Chains A and B, each alone.
Chain A
Amino acid sequence: ILNVEQSPQSLHVQEGDSTNFTCSFPSSNFYALHWYRWETAKSPEALFVMTLNGDEKKKGRISATLNTKEGYSYLYIKGSQPEDSATYLCAFSSGTYKYIFGTGTRLKVLA
């Protein structure tokens, strides 16, 4: 059974703090790893699609890294702001229609 795990489940940080979370996924049959941000009452929004081992992607203050050999990806947020408060989801693809989603990391940034 393929399993995708995210940690921590939730965290609270102060405005201005930097933070990071982890997505662990099967290291075999890797095709792609997706990160989404899901704000309350909104649609999950695509952040990154990562396909190559060693990939690093950046979007403003948010960046992500990928290690397919050991099966993990990190998402970093530099200088967290209240508007970063959301649930961050990762999804693993082995090349089929079926993405396996993690349970998400719920981030709350306190002003």
Chain B
Amino acid sequence: DVKVTQSSRYLVKRTGEKVFLECVQDMDHENMFWYRQDPGLGLRLIYFSYDVKMKEKGDIPEGYSVSREKKERFSLILESASTNQTSMYLCASSPMMTGGGYTFGSGTRLTVV
């Protein structure tokens, strides 16, 4: 069964902490994405990567960075967590840039206190 695995289901962090959200896929997909989901809003793209060490900003990159050192792993980094980054974070991967559809992880619910 193909999988996108996110390292934590629930996470509670303090304001100002550096936070790492990890995502691993086992499908050899080129593309990986980080989204956040907030009540009343659609999934919003934070960053995506189309190859190892390649990354592009999505719609809401402020306060975030990413790392893709290996094809299967895409990390989202909150440099200094703030309460407005409390959200559900979803990682996804796809085999092609367009039209291929996503395979999602099960999400990480991050609470920043």
Contact = CB atoms under 8 A, between A and B. Distances in A.
A100 B107 CA distance: 18
A97 B104 contact: no
A96 B98 CA distance: 5
A32 B99 contact: yes
Interface residues of A, number: 26
Contact of B45 (A34, A89, A98): A98
Given A42-B106, A97-B50, A49 B42 contact: no
A103 B41 CA distance: 5
Interface string B16-48: 000000000000000100010000111111001
Interface residues of B, number: 25
Contact of B42 (A44, A97, A102): A102
Contacts of A97: 31, 48, 50, 56, 97-98
Contacts of B63: none
Interface string B92-107: 0000011101111111
A103 B101 contact: no
Contacts of B104: 36, 43-45
Contacts of A11: none
A89 to B, nearest CB: 7
Given A97-B31, A103-B42, A104-B42, 18 more contacts: A31-B98, A31-B99, A32-B99, A34-B101, A36-B104, A41-B106, A43-B103, A43-B106, A45-B104, A46-B101, A46-B102, A89-B43, A93-B98, A95-B98, A99-B102, A102-B42, A103-B40, A103-B41
30 contacts: A4-B42, A32-B98, A32-B99, A34-B101, A36-B102, A41-B106, A42-B106, A43-B103, A43-B104, A43-B105, A43-B106, A43-B107, A44-B104, A45-B104, A46-B101, A46-B102, A46-B103, A49-B101, A51-B99, A93-B98, A95-B99, A97-B56, A98-B58, A99-B45, A99-B102, A101-B42, A101-B43, A101-B44, A102-B42, A104-B42
